[in-house]
Amino acid sequence: MLTISLRGELMPASPIRKLVPYAEDAKKRGTKVYHLNIGQPDIETPPAILDAVRHADIKVLEYSHSAGNESYRKKLVEYYKRNGINVTKDEIIITAGGSEAIMFGFFTCLNPGDEVIIPEPFYANYNGFACAAGVKVVPITSSIETGFALPPIADFEKVITQKTRAIIICSPNNPTGYLYSREEMEALKEICINKKLYLFSDEAYREFCYDGEYISAMHLEGLEENVVLMDTISKRYSACGARLGAFVTKNKTVYEAAMKFAQARLSPPGLAQIMGEAAVDLPDNFFDAPKAEYLKRRNLLVNRLNKMPGVFCPNPGGAFYAMARLPIDDSDKFCQWMLESFSYNNETVMMAPATGFYGTAGLGLNEVRLAYVLNLDAINAAMDCLEKALLEYPGRVEQPELEKLAKS
């Protein structure tokens, strides 16, 4: 019989997308759905970068260099320099979104059977790339009580084996919004050097730090050989659909091996590279407006959440996500129930159950991720819905039980 591959079977389905049919049904019933479930901002893509494509003089849309257009890589050198990151154009490979950069990292640095440590909750798609690469994800649990701070280094040491090859971090974090401090970054540096591990640093949300200093893995002196920076323009310019990212490393062996994967797929998206290049020339104050907007949204969202009985939401230092603990039995059931059985003023909210962001089974049952990618009015209306829903939800679990759950 024709069968698919084992990795094809094991490959995790997107934990968020499985709720999509319920959202579609709700919309068919005429219910408005506030999408706080995915990191798709409503912020306008800068017209100037779309104009760059509109006005580009293209006769033949040719393959670019497999590492991306040299002119774009040179521009990115400027961009990184403004962020305190010193790299050359020959240390950058332009990729099809941050996704491809993550994939190149897995395939270049890890063998099938190798292990990667990731503080959980973490971006669910790391699981997918790990599965494709045959790599085992070893989660280390961070806790909502500390706002998802870096777990103690002793927790890392406990799980490091002969097979451990890398740690993945994302700061500011998706899904928690947590922003690692300099001390936490230094602690990561120590362990990566001592244990000879790669540090894969997903910095998709670099521009959106509200309550602390942005520290890149590339700011850490002495860690140059260990760091692979995985980047994307998706969030910083609200250009998720462009599919444009970057794989950046000062480790020449890693770079050269990754280039062979890049050559096999010929080149990164061509029109998007024109956008990316123009984006580096946006005025210095470009990020002020979206950042101020996200900050207002965060403050509103977190404030509203913490006023709801039985709800706890730590204040995220960056990105545009918040993780909240709710007085519920099961976040998957609750998020589905919100779409299937609940509405308030004919509106409801779609959120991401936190279970999909934990590698440890059973965690995240009473947590959800909310992306504050909608405007203030929409967030207010969504919070009105959530507040009512928590009172009506048949699976509501009151505080004492919740505390038990949280500690179990």
- Work out whether 223 is an interface residue with a copy of itself (CB under 8 A): no
State the Cα–Cα distance between residues 220 and 288, nearest whole angstrom: 26
- Work out whether 260 is an interface residue with a copy of itself (CB under 8 A): yes
Residues 224-253 that bind a copy of itself (CB under 8 A): 225-226, 238-243, 251, 253
Residues 69-88 that bind a copy of itself (CB under 8 A): none
- Work out whether 320 is an interface residue with a copy of itself (CB under 8 A): no
Instruction: Give the interface segment with a copy of itself, choosing from 172-180, 200-208, 255-263, 355-363 (CB under 8 A).
Output: 255-263
Instruction: Provide the sign of the torsion angle of the four alpha carbons 26, 30, 35, 40, taken in this order.
Output: positive
DSSP 8-state secondary structure symbol assigned to residue 151: P
* CA triple 47-51-56, angle to 5 deg: 160
- Work out whether 289 is an interface residue with a copy of itself (CB under 8 A): no
Q: What kind and span of H or E run contains 20?
A: helix 20-28
C-beta closer to a copy of itself: residue 71 or 125:
125
Max CA-CA distance within the chain? 68
- Work out whether 100 is an interface residue with a copy of itself (CB under 8 A): yes
**β-pair type (32-35, 347-350):** parallel
| The token pair that represents 119 in the structure block | 């503080």
Q: Smallest distance, Å, CB 7 to a copy of itself?
A: 6
By CB neighbour count within 10 A (0-12 exposed, 13-18 middle, 19+ buried), where does 208 fall? buried
Q: Smallest distance, Å, CB 273 to a copy of itself?
A: 9
By CB neighbour count within 10 A (0-12 exposed, 13-18 middle, 19+ buried), where does 59 fall? exposed
- Work out whether 7 is an interface residue with a copy of itself (CB under 8 A): yes
User: How many residues sit close enough to a copy of itself to count as binding (CB under 8 A)?
Assistant: 77
- Work out whether 257 is an interface residue with a copy of itself (CB under 8 A): yes
- Work out whether 9 is an interface residue with a copy of itself (CB under 8 A): yes
DSSP 8-state secondary structure symbol assigned to residue 134: T
| The token pair that represents 70 in the structure block | 């040299």
Cβ atoms 67, 93 nearer than 8 A = yes
Instruction: Give the interface segment with a copy of itself, choosing from 29-37, 144-152, 181-189, 196-204 (CB under 8 A).
Output: 196-204
Q: Smallest distance, Å, CB 354 to a copy of itself?
A: 19
Residues 108-137 that bind a copy of itself (CB under 8 A): 108-112, 114, 125, 128-129, 132, 134
- Work out whether 14 is an interface residue with a copy of itself (CB under 8 A): yes
